[in-house]
């Protein structure tokens, strides 16, 4: 009230009307006064309008500078995190609009605050566009667009449709699932979902990397869940929704499809839709959908089934999800919705119905296929062997390393009998015959390690050399054969390479401006030491990357992994902090990192920026 009175007094003291002030084509003060003296005159009462209408670089240069640094990072780096994307300028304009100012607890037409006529228009339009984007009949489907993000959206569904401690089945976290579907260890319930509900995981068939639907069905028969989640955070294959629907029908369970990662692909119609089979569908809005950071909950409504009552009467059974879901969102778990986000989401959903959007999603799939193929050519093992969507999951535990015969030369034995150059290629905990011919440091043979000895020892005693001192990479060496032929002693061994984990590789990737994220893979003992790296193609595809570009990105990734393995080999400790200390203290490694980083940045800078113009950037060098 005091502010309103001050503003009325302020405006009455101005002879000319309040007008915008432009400087160089930029709007500085949306409601600035033509006479700055007026501000001075009213300084003791109403000086804040000037500050409120000042631009960010004037009000808070520190935050403005951080934003400029982030712009430079996005321009010069390679964004491979599959849950990230670059949203459009129009979406950001809506999110940064005056829609952020309004409180609107409730739903369109039923608010607890006045002045929401235009908020109602925006939310209703967003709901309409959400149904259109996924080709849904509004008589059969409804949607709530107020959820703040994906994890709350899932929890809202659980609280809407389940009683406390009722049972949920979902994909296990180390096998590609998500925390919001429930997760617990032998000693602790990690996710709040597992605290308030009873959760049981289903898993992949580790021999194939695909979901084990047969075991899922057996587990469901014993566990009797009330809800089964079909959705993942790190699963590179398509869900068999029809198969899970059959399991749900047998158990009279709700089928919740969490399509957070793939909703953009579903909207474009380039992969199968879960809506034919699911009862409820949740999604975030900022991943492949390429909107603002938010979430949606879709729910069936209308006739669920028709039961026959006697000989003459048919009873229609209706879905009761709509009221339950809406009440779980508000007032159950949220207060006022983020109206600026809903406005931005409406824009993104309109974009999702365009031909350009479908072409983009087709390119996302094509890019990911090429990316996977190139990684396999580099010798990487992909969980499930490939991809059918927007992401790949690389199992680094099984990654071997090959060292050319020119990489290392070590003097062996005090008698200087030979120099050693070696070649290794191995799998984690898988015996491999690592071999090289050692004679004058310039010959190679892939059958056995052969040491050519001069006849110094009269009895030609066989010497078992500490082979661990030959190779700088961590591993277990088991000598399994020693023989001699014409003065040549042959020593063969199994080499068990210790491999590397996602945490260490992620640190090197970050150092060279490649954003990816560590992820658990099947067989991981602990989520604290994830054995894989998860990468996706949506963000870079938004910048215009095509297939040949992702082949190059795979080359960069391979170089970073090899560098990480070299750093690990030189690290004495076993902890991540020891790895980082070695990486940061070694002049050689810092030089290699700088070189690879420069190559990455120069490649990334060739492509357009999204959301800002390169010419307006503060940090272009």
108-161: pLDDT as tens digits: 999 999 999 999 999 999 999 999 999 999 999 999 999 999 999 999 999 999
> Out of 255-259, 295-299, 427-431, which region has the weakest mean confidence (pLDDT)?
427-431
Beta carbons within 10 angstroms of residue 563's beta carbon = 21
Of all helices (H) and strands (E), which one includes residue 514? strand 514-515
226 shares its domain with 149: yes
Identified catalytic residue from 42, 68, 105, 388: 105
Structure tokens at 76: 């010069």
Beta carbons within 10 angstroms of residue 229's beta carbon = 29
The answer to the question of residue 519 being in a domain is yes
Range of the domain at 292: 140-334
* Residue 610: band (very low, low, confident or very high) from pLDDT cuts 50, 70, 90: very high
Identified catalytic residue from 284, 285, 387, 582: 284
Identified catalytic residue from 293, 304, 350, 452: 293
518 shares its domain with 432: no
The answer to the question of residue 285 being in a domain is yes
566 shares its domain with 460: no
pLDDT mean over 68-92: 97
The domain boundary residue, chosen from 456, 476, 497: 497
Identified catalytic residue from 237, 287, 507, 568: 287
- State yes or no: is 258 an active-site residue: yes
pLDDT mean over 378-383: 94
Cα gap 563→11, rounded to integer Å: 65
CATH number at residue 303: 3.40.640.10
pLDDT mean over 262-283: 98
- State yes or no: is 552 an active-site residue: no
Residue 401 has pLDDT above 50, yes or no: no
Model pLDDT, residue 554 = 98
Identified catalytic residue from 258, 322, 381, 450: 258
The domain boundary residue, chosen from 445, 479, 497: 497
Indicate whether this model's pTM tops 0.75: yes
Model pLDDT, residue 438 = 26
Model pLDDT, residue 31 = 45
Residue of higher predicted confidence among 9 and 532:
532
Total domains present in the chain: 4
Per-residue pLDDT of 89-107, as tens digits, reads 999 999 999 999 999 999 9
Query: Tokens 């290629």 map to which residue?
Result: 425
Contact residues for 615 (Cβ-Cβ < 8 A; gap 6+): none
Residue of higher predicted confidence among 451 and 219:
219
Model pLDDT, residue 28 = 41
The answer to the question of residue 528 being in a domain is yes
Of all helices (H) and strands (E), which one includes residue 38? helix 36-41
558 shares its domain with 594: yes
450 shares its domain with 384: no
> Out of 78-87, 171-180, 586-595, which region has the weakest mean confidence (pLDDT)?
171-180
* Residue 38: band (very low, low, confident or very high) from pLDDT cuts 50, 70, 90: low
The answer to the question of residue 489 being in a domain is yes
The answer to the question of residue 544 being in a domain is yes
Cα gap 108→119, rounded to integer Å: 8
Query: Tokens 């992401």 map to which residue?
Result: 391
Nearest to 550 by CA among 373, 288, 286: 373
Cα gap 346→337, rounded to integer Å: 14
> Out of 61-75, 110-124, 459-473, 527-541, which region has the weakest mean confidence (pLDDT)?
459-473
> Out of 35-49, 303-317, 406-420, which region has the weakest mean confidence (pLDDT)?
406-420
Contact residues for 192 (Cβ-Cβ < 8 A; gap 6+): 155
The answer to the question of residue 320 being in a domain is yes
Identified catalytic residue from 39, 103, 463, 477: 103
Beta bridge partners of 284: 295
Per-residue pLDDT of 543-592, as tens digits, reads 999 999 999 999 999 999 999 999 998 999 889 999 999 999 999 999 99
- State yes or no: is 619 an active-site residue: no
363 shares its domain with 250: no
462 shares its domain with 532: no
Model pLDDT, residue 313 = 65
482 shares its domain with 510: no
Per-residue pLDDT of 462-488, as tens digits, reads 333 333 333 333 343 334 444 555 544
Burial of 491 per CB tally in 10 Å (0-12, 13-18, 19+): buried
376 shares its domain with 431: no
- State yes or no: is 39 an active-site residue: no
Residue 192 has pLDDT above 50, yes or no: yes
> Out of 50-59, 126-135, 268-277, 352-361, which region has the weakest mean confidence (pLDDT)?
50-59
Query: Tokens 């709509």 map to which residue?
Result: 322
Cα gap 36→380, rounded to integer Å: 66
CATH number at residue 393: 3.90.1150.10
Contact 200, 226 (CB under 8 A): no
Local structure of residue 385 (DSSP, 8 states): G
Residue 345 has pLDDT above 50, yes or no: yes
Structure tokens at 590: 């810092």
Average pLDDT over the chain, rounded to an integer: 82
Model pLDDT, residue 442 = 25
151 shares its domain with 4: no
* Residue 296: band (very low, low, confident or very high) from pLDDT cuts 50, 70, 90: very high
505 shares its domain with 492: no
The domain boundary residue, chosen from 451, 467, 497: 497
Contact residues for 7 (Cβ-Cβ < 8 A; gap 6+): 46, 49
pLDDT mean over 193-200: 94
* Residue 419: band (very low, low, confident or very high) from pLDDT cuts 50, 70, 90: very low
- State yes or no: is 103 an active-site residue: yes
Model pLDDT, residue 50 = 83
The answer to the question of residue 233 being in a domain is yes
- Overall size of the chain counted in residues: 621
Contact 523, 531 (CB under 8 A): yes
The answer to the question of residue 416 being in a domain is yes
- State yes or no: is 571 an active-site residue: no
317 shares its domain with 237: yes
Residue 240 has pLDDT above 50, yes or no: yes
Residue 350 has pLDDT above 80, yes or no: yes
């Amino acid at each position: 009230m005091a502010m309103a009175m001050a503003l009325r007094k302020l405006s009455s003291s101005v002879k000319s009307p309040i007008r915008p002030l432009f400087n160089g084509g930029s709007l500085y003060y949306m409601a600035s006064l033509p006479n700055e003296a007026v501000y001075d005159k009213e300084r003791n009462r109403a000086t804040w309008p000037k500050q409120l209408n000042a631009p960010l670089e004037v009000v808070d240069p520190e935050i403005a500078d951080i934003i400029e640094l982030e712009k430079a990072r996005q321009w010069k780096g390679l964004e491979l995190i599959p849950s990230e994307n670059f949203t459009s300028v129009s979406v950001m304009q809506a999110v940064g609009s005056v829609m952020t100012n309004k409180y609107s607890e409730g739903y369109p037409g039923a608010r607890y605050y006045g002045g929401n006529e235009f908020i109602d228009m925006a939310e209703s339009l967003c709901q309409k566009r959400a149904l259109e984007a996924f080709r849904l009949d509004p008589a059969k489907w409804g949607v709530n667009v107020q959820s703040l993000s994906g994890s709350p959206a899932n929890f809202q569904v659980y609280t809407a449709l389940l009683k406390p401690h009722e049972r949920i089945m979902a994909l296990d976290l180390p096998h590609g699932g998500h925390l919001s579907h429930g997760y617990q260890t032998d000693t602790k319930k990690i996710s709040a979902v597992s605290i308030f509900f009873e959760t049981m995981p289903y898993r992949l068939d580790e021999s194939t990397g695909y979901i084990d639907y047969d075991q899922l069905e057996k587990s469901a028969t014993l566990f009797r869940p009330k809800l089964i989640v079909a959705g993942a955070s790190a699963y590179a294959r398509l869900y068999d929704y029809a198969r899970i629907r059959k399991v749900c029908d047998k158990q009279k369970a709700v089928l919740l499809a969490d399509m957070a990662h793939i909703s953009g692909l579903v909207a474009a119609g380039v992969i199968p839709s879960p809506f034919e089979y699911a009862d409820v569908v949740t999604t975030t809005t900022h991943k492949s959908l390429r909107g603002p950071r938010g979430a949606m909950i879709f729910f069936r409504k209308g006739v669920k089934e028709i039961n026959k009552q006697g000989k003459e009467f048919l009873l229609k059974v209706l879905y009761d999800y709509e009221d339950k879901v809406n009440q779980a969102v508000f007032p159950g778990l949220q207060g006022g919705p983020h109206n600026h986000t809903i406005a931005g989401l409406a824009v993104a959903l309109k974009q999702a119905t365009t031909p350009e959007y479908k072409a983009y999603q087709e390119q996302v799939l094509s890019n990911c296929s090429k990316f996977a193929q190139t990684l396999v050519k580099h010798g990487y093992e992909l969980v499930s062997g490939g991809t059918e969507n927007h992401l790949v999951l690389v199992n680094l535990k099984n990654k071997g390393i090959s060292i050319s015969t020119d990489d290392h030369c070590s003097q062996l034995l005090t008698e200087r009998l030979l120099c050693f150059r070696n070649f290794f290629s191995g799998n984690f905990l898988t015996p491999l015959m690592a071999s090289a011919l050692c004679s004058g440091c310039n010959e190679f043979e892939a059958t056995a390690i052969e040491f050519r000895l001069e006849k110094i020892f009269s009895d030609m005693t066989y010497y078992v050399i500490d082979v661990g001192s030959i190779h700088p990479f961590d591993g277990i060496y088991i000598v399994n054969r020693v023989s001699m032929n014409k003065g040549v002693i042959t020593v063969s061994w199994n080499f068990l390479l210790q491999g590397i984990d996602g945490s260490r590789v992620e640190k090197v990737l970050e150092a060279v401006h490649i954003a990816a994220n560590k992820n658990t893979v099947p067989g991981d003992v602990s989520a604290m030491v994830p054995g894989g790296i998860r990468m996706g193609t949506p963000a870079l595809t938004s910048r215009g990357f095509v297939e040949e570009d992702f082949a190059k990105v795979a080359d960069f990734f391979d170089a970073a992994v090899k560098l990480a393995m070299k750093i690990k080999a030189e690290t004495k400790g076993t902890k991540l902090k020891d790895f980082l200390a070695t990486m940061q203290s070694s002049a050689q490694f810092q030089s290699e990192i700088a070189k690879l980083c420069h190559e990455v940045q120069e490649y990334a800078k060739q492509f357009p920026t999204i959301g800002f113009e390169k010419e307006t950037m503060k940090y272009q060098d």
